[in-house]
């Protein structure tokens, strides 16, 4: 018998301590009852990046309070929950363990099903918080730790079509920001700088643009930004370099998306609806959104982005992934341990380093 489902989600894989309560009604409507995110941005700023030990300590200090706030805001009790979903990986081991311990304790105490969720699956399914998702769809996941094209064929059915062979796109944004003297995490500020600059001012490289399918590479671009930055004299030069960097990313994504569309269509014959979802922190970037919308329109793909606030790390996406796993008949997996490395497509080959590209 169908019934409303309410799940608590917990997320501590990196530098956001987050908890959320999500309800999926028996008619299929998804409601975000609460979504609490506590960012550690200020703590890590002075170090220029996330310090794992410090992040874990902060998660440990905050987690109880954040979960309590999420429960209280949702106006549900722990007893009313139908399950607990917690990010089990990938991420920083010491950070994952804090959320996992909290989630498993609640699940054990209240005797509820527990789901250890792949963080990337959370990003992959985020759009479901806004409207029902139809499988299959092409996913571009662009975050601080990952950049991948995936064919999403159902819950637990992910086929990686392409990935970065070095830096993730968010990492490239953050490193470019650091080079320009913007404090961590500078990705969002690059977008602000880019608006004030000339996108054609610098001619930057587009690594592996016309080879290796829809695999991506950003390390060479970052080195080029570093070299150009040495000749920078004015604030305007900084804006120009940020703008040229973002423009180069857009040009790379244009070519790689077209390649990914081809690969997706080759796999999926006779599809009526061509759906393309873009998620992860970098999907908040308005210039990238505009560029990808244009490419999709030209190729008849319906593109969707989660709202900006749900692109970056949150626990609402983890709770939803828990509900969808539960509904797909996946078993509660309370014995799962934290997994720092956990590819979404377990069959896809490891792809780090230029030597691995075709
Ligand atoms: O998904 P997310 O919150 O965390 C990971 O799972 O990695 O993504 C964070 C990344 C950071 O690298 C951040 O700089 C980048 O997303 N980001 C942006 C923007 N907003 C966040 N990059 C470019 N433009 C933005 N507006
Ligand atoms: Zn993430």
Listed by start position, the domains of the chain span 5-130+310-327, 137-305
pLDDT at 356: 55
For ligand 1, which residues put their CB under 6 angstroms from it?
143-145, 170, 173-174, 185, 187-188, 190-191, 280-282, 284-285, 312-313
| Residue 185 scores a pLDDT above 60 | yes
Same CATH fold, 137-305 and 5-130+310-327?
yes
Q: pLDDT-based confidence at 357, cuts 50/70/90?
A: low
The Å distance, Cα 123 to ligand 2 centre, comes to 7
CATH code of domain 5-130+310-327? 3.30.420.40
Instruction: Note the pLDDT of residue 115.
Output: 98
- Residue of the nearest CA to atom 7 in ligand 1? 144
| For range 267-278, the mean pLDDT | 93
Return all residues near 154 (Cβ < 8 A) that are at least 6 apart.
Answer: 135, 136, 328
Q: Whose CA is nearest to atom 19 of ligand 1?
A: 188
* pLDDT for residue 57 is more than 70: yes
Cα(60) to centroid(ligand 2), Å: 19
User: For residue 276, is it left (φ>0), alpha (ψ between -120 and 50) or beta?
Assistant: beta
| Cis-peptide, bond into residue 58, ω within 30° of zero | no
Least confident residue range of 105-109, 193-197, 254-258, 269-273: 269-273
User: pLDDT of 89-116, one tens digit each?
Assistant: 999 999 999 999 999 999 999 999 999 9
| Domain 137-305 class in CATH | alpha beta
Nearest ligand 1 atom to the CA of 169 is 12
Q: How many angstroms from the chain centroid is the CA of residue 208?
A: 23
Residue 161 phi, psi dihedral angles, 5° rounding: -95, -30
Tell me the C-alpha distance between 101 and 64, whole Å.
11
* Nearest atom (ligand 1) to Cα of 313: 3
Can you tell me the mean pLDDT for 334-354? 88
Please tell me the distance between residue 79's alpha carbon and the centre of ligand 2 in angstroms.
Answer: 29
Query: Residue 347 pLDDT more than 80?
Result: yes
Mean pLDDT of the chain: 95
How many angstroms does the Cα of residue 228 sit away from the middle of ligand 2? 30
- pLDDT of 284: 97
How far is it, in rounded angstroms, from Cα 103 to Cα 157? 25
255 has pLDDT over 70: yes
Residue 312 CA, closest ligand 1 atom number? 3
Whether 193 and 180 have beta carbons less than 8 Å apart is answered as yes
Average pLDDT over residues 134-146: 96
Three-class secondary structure of residue 333 per DSSP: coil
> What residue spans of 216-341 are helical by DSSP H?
219-229, 235-267, 286-299, 308-311, 316-327
- pTM summary value: 0.95
Q: Tell me the C-alpha distance between 271 and 91, whole Å.
A: 35
The pair of structure tokens assigned to 145 is: 């730790």
Cα 301 to averaged position of ligand 1 atoms, centre (Å): 24
What is the reported pLDDT for 351?
76
């Amino acid at each position: 018998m169908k019934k409303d489902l309410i799940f608590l989600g917990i997320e501590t894989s990196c530098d956001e301590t987050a908890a959320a309560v999500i309800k999926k009604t028996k008619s299929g409507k998804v409601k975000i009852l609460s979504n609490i995110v506590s960012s550690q941005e200020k703590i890590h700023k002075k170090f220029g990046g996330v310090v794992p030990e410090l992040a874990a300590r902060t998660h440990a200090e905050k987690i109880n309070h954040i979960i309590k706030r999420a429960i209280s805001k949702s106006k549900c009790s722990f007893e009313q929950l139908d399950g607990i979903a917690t990010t089990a990986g990938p991420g920083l081991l010491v950070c994952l363990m804090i959320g996992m311990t909290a989630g498993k304790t609640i699940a054990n105490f209240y005797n509820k099903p527990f789901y250890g969720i792949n963080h990337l699956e959370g990003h992959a399914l985020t759009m479901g918080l806004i409207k029902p998702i139809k499988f299959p769809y092409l996913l571009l996941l662009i975050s601080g730790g990952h950049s991948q094209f995936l064919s999403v064929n159902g819950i637990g059915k992910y086929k990686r079509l392409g990935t970065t062979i070095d830096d993730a796109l968010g990492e490239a944004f953050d490193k470019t920001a650091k080079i320009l003297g913007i404090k961590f995490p500078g990705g969002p500020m690059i977008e602000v700088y880019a608006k004030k600059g000339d996108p054609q001012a610098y001619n930057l490289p587009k690594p592996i643009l016309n080879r290796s399918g829809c695999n991506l590479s950003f390390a060479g671009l970052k080195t080029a930004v570093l070299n150009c930055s040495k000749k920078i004299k004015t604030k305007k030069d900084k804006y120009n370099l940020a703008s040229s960097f973002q423009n180069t990313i857009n040009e790379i994504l244009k070519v790689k998306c077209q390649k990914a569309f081809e690969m997706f269509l080759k796999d999926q014959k006779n599809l009526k609806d061509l759906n393309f979802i873009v998620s992860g922190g970098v999907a908040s970037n308005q210039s990238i959104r505009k560029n990808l919308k244009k490419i999709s329109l030209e190729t008849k793909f319906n593109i969707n982005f989660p709202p900006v606030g749900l692109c970056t790390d949150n626990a609402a996406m983890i709770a939803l992934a828990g509900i969808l796993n539960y509904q797909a008949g996946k078993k509660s997996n309370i014995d799962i341990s934290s997994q720092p490395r956990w590819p979404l497509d377990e069959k896809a080959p490891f792809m780090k380093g230029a030597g691995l590209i075709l």
